[in-house]
Structure 1
Amino acid sequence: MKKINSWNEFKELDQTTPFFFLKNSTTCPISQSAYEETMKFAEDHADLPFYYLNVQETRELSNQIAEEFNIKHESPQIFLFSDNQVRYHDSHWNITYSSLEDVVKKNV
């Protein structure tokens, strides 16, 4: 997974290819679990791009994503982006290896 630190970096991502994006908190145990589940899934699916941000370090980017896509900020929170749109998003304990498998089967 590649860490994204700014809106400019986010906008430079290839928006034509589906990719996952995780909003992570470095102080929350639920976020830690979601990060680990996402990391395992990303390692097993090297053909899919995965990115993340740490909310404490890049709050402005986190807020801008929420505003741009009109989705309330949560942390942890995962998105599947494709064609400049959010195809899927979920948060907290719903971010699991198996839930990401389901998302890929239905959307990628």
Structure 2
Amino acid sequence: MPLAEWKEMKTLADWEDVLSQSESQPVFVFKHSTTCPISANAWKEFTAYLESEPREDVSYVMVKVIESRDVSNKIANDLGVKHESPQAIVVKDRKETWNRSHWDITQQSIREALS
């Protein structure tokens, strides 16, 4: 059972809510490709992090890049971060403060980014 909950973003309105939320607390955004084995591995790392003493003052969200491509593209455009997947991005005050992709998404890298 995860110690921290995460929410899936499916609409542009969901992303706007998350972006606004980043003004009051950090947001961890996970861009997930449901057809990619590297993304499956990064997803395991992300969920393992959530099950092992995650920061409680962070909001955790996920977007499926194929199913919600408009949301994924809007995230890239709004933050000025080149789209990759899997990709993990920390957002604070409507700006990207950290991002990693592919094999660089590990429990350890997430922990360091949020410390």
TM, length-normalised to structure 1: 0.91
1:6-64, CA deviations, whole angstroms, 9 ceiling, x for partnerless residues?
A: 12111112122001000000010000011111111123316132100111110011111
**Residue pairs, 1:44-59, within 5 angstroms:** 44=52, 45=54, 47=56, 48-59=58-69
Which among 30, 40, 46 is matched to residue 38 of structure 1?
Answer: 46
Cα deviation 1:56-79 (Å, max 9, x = unaligned) = 110011111111111110000000
2:78 pairs with 47, 65, 68, which one?
A: 68
Q: Is the 8 A contact 2:79 2:94 kept in 1?
A: no
Cα separation, 2, equivalents of 1:82 and 1:43: 23
Percentage of identical aligned residues? 32
Q: TM (normalized to structure 2)?
A: 0.86
Alpha-carbon distance in structure 1 between the residues aligned to 2:85 and 2:99: 12
Q: Secondary structure at the match of 2:114?
A: helix
Q: Give the equivalent residue in structure 1 for 2:25.
A: 17
Q: Secondary structure at the match of 2:82?
A: coil
Aligned length: 105
CA distance in structure 2 between the aligned counterparts of 1:46 and 1:40, rounded to whole angstroms: 13
- Determine if the alignment matches structure 1 residue 87 to structure 2 residue 87: no
Runs of 4 or more consecutive aligned structure 1 residues displaced over 2 Å after TM superposition: none
Unaligned runs of 5+ in 1: none
